Amino acid sequence: MSKRISLDRILQSQGFGTRKWCSELIAAGEVEVAGVTVTDNRVAMETEGLIFKVYGETWIYREKLYIALNKPGNYECSRKASHHPGVLSIFPEQFDRRGVQPVGRLDHDTTGLLLLSDDGLFIHNQSSPRHHIPKAYEVSTHDPVTPELIAMFIAGVKLHDEPVPLAAASCRIISSHLLEVVLKQGKYHQVKRMVAAAGNHCIALRRSRIGGLGLDGLGLSEGHWCYLGARQLAQLAPD
């Protein structure tokens, strides 16, 4: 929805700093709109489709951010990382100021599709176990994958501290040491624990799809990210 607000408030909403800092940025001639340097911080502009430059870098106004990242290994999904770099260090610093956060978590050594946003409702809907959004994982195993392991995953595997066995929504063999598992739950270390409970060991884990949105369709190489538009967001809609 388009709004007409002052340029300093626009910059503040996009994570460029406090309103005072954004006003100073404008007064210093560091902001361009439609190829024209704007020095009046009070000038009001329509936000819809607004394209502007700060320090010569082009930005598009986005009321909320919806992002897909092909997460590399050895990054933590936390705003306050402790043992490894946080995934937010991959993005422009404006995203951190806007309150962007990972939607759910992947272990530091798990790679693949990770969503991030500053939209609290979106984060809640994607994270809530009530919505049963399927997530697909590619699992590299220590020992060969057997039909018996696949059967166990479909029937349900009993894990320590879980009251009932946990079953995969689907499971298939990709190659001798690689399988695809689709889950609708989100228990702690669930894939790794299920593989261990089935008598094998997970040596690498990659999330390839959330809902109908897959890394293959996004064309993201590891460590790269993109904004998500309406079409991609529709693929993430809860059941």
Active site residues: 107
Amino acid at 76: E
Q: Which sign does the torsion angle of CA 186, 192, 195, 196 carry?
A: negative
Which CA distances in Å does 33 have to 25, 54, 112, 196?
Answer: 13, 9, 36, 56
d(CA 235, CA 239): 10
Coil vs helix vs strand at 5: strand
First to last CA, the chain: 26
Pair of tokens at residue 35: 């190829």
String of b and e for 217-234 (b: at least 16 CB within 10 Å)? ebebeeeebeebeeebbe
